[in-house]
């Protein structure tokens, strides 16, 4: 106990040392009082009193030496406890930094996913525009102006909505929100949920 403290629970070790110190101080004081009580008889030539007094004084000296050892052990233990606390703080800080880095990486990946999704949607826009032009050209060639008008109304909205909704999960992940618990979730659902979360915050 008095050497280099290797206990994991430094507080427990230190408490035992402090308890021992208090007990030892009380024992030294008691031995010193008894030695004082024998002083008169020893000075009067009582050999037995002299011997008993000498033994008590020796115990007091041993006790004081022990006290100095305990004081050194307590100082060492407190230093070890402080070092352990510092290492624990560093460990927690490093853990928080790793978690923050992981979150940043996750957000970056989600952003990249969203960018790819938007690029895909942009590609769908181009493809839909091309398809619409083809349909209108064929309709005009066939003299069907009614189909030219219908292609403007039907083709783009339905196809575009479908293309956008394919990427609703990616949008939700990038925004950090949980979409409504439905089998099919639209981009509008995700955007509405993101607005609710922002307003609650």
d(CA 115, CA 64) in angstroms, rounded, equals: 76
Name the strand (E) or helix (H) holding 33: helix 10-37
Supply the pLDDT for residue 5: 41
Domain boundaries defined on the chain: 10-97, 107-200
The tens digit of pLDDT for each residue in 21-45 reads 999 999 999 999 998 888 888 788 8
Selected residue with higher pLDDT from 118 and 103? 103
Residue 88: name the closest of 191, 174, 9 by CA: 9
Q: 147 pLDDT exceeds 60? A: no
Confidence class for position 119, pLDDT limits 50, 70, 90: confident
Confidence class for position 1, pLDDT limits 50, 70, 90: very low
């Amino acid at each position: 106990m008095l050497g280099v403290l290797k206990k994991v629970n430094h507080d427990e070790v230190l408490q035992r040392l402090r308890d021992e110190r208090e007990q030892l101080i009380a024992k030294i004081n008691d031995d010193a009082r008894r030695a004082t009580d024998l002083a008169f008889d020893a000075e009067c030539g009582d050999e037995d009193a002299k011997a008993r007094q000498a033994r008590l004084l020796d115990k007091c000296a041993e006790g004081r030496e022990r006290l100095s050892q305990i004081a050194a052990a307590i100082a060492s233990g407190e230093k070890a406890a402080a070092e352990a606390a510092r290492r624990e703080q560093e460990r927690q800080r490093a853990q928080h930094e790793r978690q923050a880095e992981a979150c940043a990486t996750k957000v970056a990946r989600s952003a990249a996913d969203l960018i790819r999704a938007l690029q895909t949607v942009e590609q769908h826009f181009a493809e839909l525009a091309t398809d619409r032009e083809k349909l209108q050209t064929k309709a005009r060639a066939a003299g069907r102006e009614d189909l030219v008008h219908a292609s403007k109304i039907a083709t783009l909205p339905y196809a575009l909505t479908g293309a956008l909704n394919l990427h609703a999960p990616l949008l939700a992940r990038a925004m950090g929100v949980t979409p409504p618990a439905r089998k099919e979730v639209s981009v509008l659902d995700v955007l509405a949920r993101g607005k609710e979360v922002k307003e609650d915050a």
